Amino acid sequence: MKNECKEFEKKLSAMSPFEIKGTLIDMAQKDARQSTNTFLNAGRGNPNWILTYPRRAFFLLGQFAMGEAERNPYVSEWGIVASPASDGIADRFCDFLNQHRDEVGAKVLRHVYTHVTTDLKADPDEFVYELVDGITGDHYPTPPRILKYTEQITREYLRWAMGGGDDMTDYDLFATEGSTAGMVYVFDSLKQNFLMKPGDKMALLTPCFTPYLEIPVLKQFGYDTVYVSANKVEKDGYHDWQYPKEEIDKLRDPSVKCVCITNPSNPPSVALSKEVLDQLVDVVRNDNPNLMIITDDVYGTFIEGFKSLMYVLPYNTICLYSYSKYFGATGWRVAAMALRPDNVFDYRLSQLSEEDKTLLRERYSSLSLEPDKLKFIDRLVADSRLVALNHTAGLSTPQQIQMALFSAFAYLHHDDIQPRLIRMIHHRLENLWKTTGFTLLPDPNRAGYYSEIDMMVWATKFYGEEFARYLEANYEPLDFVIRLANETAIVLLNGDGFDGPAWSVRASLANLNDDDYLKIGTAIRKILDEYHETWLKSR
């Protein structure tokens, strides 16, 4: 029976942790039905909070937009009306806000309107018309990459969120259907534009979000993957989840054309330290100046003073940022890609062979009389719609308007919102760890959205190296999360599915209530102690 279990676990471990999760949920729910245990799924990254104020603004804006449209009816009894008109729309908008002055949504809209028209110098009628036409959704996105004022608002938010400080560079943005779409688009455009070819080296900083592990090896890409690992135990037998110098040095090889980074990491949820950032700068300046960097920074806003590579190595970096976590908006599917106007991607395009350039001129000839001058970020937009449908590309305009309201609200109130969200997830993190009996070392680089716990570290610290060797020899690493589901109705993900340590587990701190993490910590320690008791009996 034990051998059969090990064989099942071996087969299961070959799957993505997000697919294994379904099996674990079934086990945990069955245990909850048959015992007094409460089903707790800490395998999901979906937050259990939402920001209501920018949503209230969105829905109130929708009321104004419908009123604007109904000013010019065609068949009024059936709501068949003309598209809203822009003339005088800002004055009517201000009158509308005055009528709703006591509502939260109106206060948010008034603040956004004042900021954008005063500080960002937007034309009032033009800006309000973008809001109204966008939320109505009656035109294709124009420009398809991102709406004009939405880009300015989002750019300002990202400058704060990604640690831009006084850098006023106007990054080009592409609004996408979540950062998952952004990932698909950037991988595809790198391939279509011959910036990455089969057999080329792509580096991954691991542990990382599993699609970054799975996409490069797909047959359609076929890249040679270089793993840069933070799995080494660094401080007195504890993980710090930073990258040793010898790992970062792998990027010095100029044949490594591209590197994918999740920062802060997933699942350790730790941002790159200043030492690692400095090493990356040294790598690019001295050894690999044309390295293309893709950084996925969705968790950056959970660290005060976070600094993205888009501002550390701006020439080399394209940044993916999703609104899903900070705003509790996974269902909205809104994200932005940011790329500096002068960048290594465009430089690499200029250095392609004449044969490759000829093929690309043909690919993009329907878009420009001078396709060689088409920027990489505009190729991303076109490639997202197989070029031929470029004129209908872009994120839906209602989604873009919600993204603009998210951005403006979070930017204007960042000193109020960010500390509260950080405190909330850190309190959950503390609850998780204190009932395990494990030691959570202070770390200013820790976001805490997830926690990766290496059970082998704690097996060694509590019960010694002989016990740790016994675990490795007698059990599959997946056995731990399976027991957790079967015996305690709790779901965690296996950390090795993210290229983390074999015996590590990932817990999300975002999607359960504070006290639930006390129960999860207790259950984790219970399973470890059971292994120890079995070992003692075997001796």
Domain end among 409, 436, 466: 409
Domain end among 121, 139, 157: 139
> Considering its fold, how many domains does the chain have in total?
3
Q: How far apart are CA 32 and CA 491, in angstroms?
A: 12
At residue 384, the pLDDT reads 97
State whether 386 and 518 are in the same domain. no
Structural domain span for residue 10: 2-48+417-538
At residue 1, the pLDDT reads 45
State whether 324 and 395 are in the same domain. yes
* Distances in whole angstroms, Cα of residue 261 to Cα of each of 226, 247, 297, 376, 496: 12, 14, 8, 20, 17
Q: How far apart are CA 252 and CA 25, in angstroms?
A: 43
State whether 25 and 126 are in the same domain. no
DSSP state of 238: B
Q: How far apart are CA 249 and CA 146, in angstroms?
A: 37
State whether 165 and 302 are in the same domain. yes
State whether 492 and 531 are in the same domain. yes
Give 185-207 pLDDT, tens digit per residue: 999 999 999 999 999 999 999 99
What is the gyration radius of the CA atoms in the chain, in angstroms?
A: 25
Could you say which residues of the chain have pLDDT below 50? 1
Phi, psi of 25 (to 5 degrees): -65, -45
State whether 401 and 459 are in the same domain. no
State whether 502 and 361 are in the same domain. no
Where helices occur in 395-454 by DSSP H, the ranges are 397-412, 414-434
State whether 232 and 277 are in the same domain. yes
What b-and-e string marks burial along 385-421, b requiring 16 or more CB atoms within 10 Å of the CB? eebeebeebbbbbbbbbbbbbbbbbbbbeeeebbeeb
pTM, entire model: 0.95
Phi, psi of 298 (to 5 degrees): -60, -30
Q: How far apart are CA 241 and CA 232, in angstroms?
A: 8
Neighbouring residues of 456: CB distance < 8 A, sequence distance ≥ 6: 468, 471, 472, 501, 502, 503, 504
CATH code, 10: 3.90.1150.10
Where does 488-527 show beta strands of DSSP type E? 490-491, 493-494, 504-508
State whether 442 and 480 are in the same domain. yes
Neighbouring residues of 7: CB distance < 8 A, sequence distance ≥ 6: none
Q: Which of 7, 524, 12, 460 lies closest to 233 in space, CA to CA?
A: 460
At residue 4, the pLDDT reads 53
Cis peptide before 207 (omega within 30 of 0): yes
At residue 3, the pLDDT reads 54
State whether 383 and 467 are in the same domain. no
Q: How far apart are CA 171 and CA 246, in angstroms?
A: 33
CATH code, 102: 1.10.20.110
Q: Are 419 and 412 in contact (CB under 8 A)?
A: no
At residue 2, the pLDDT reads 56
Is the C-alpha dihedral spanning 302, 305, 306, 311 positive or negative? positive
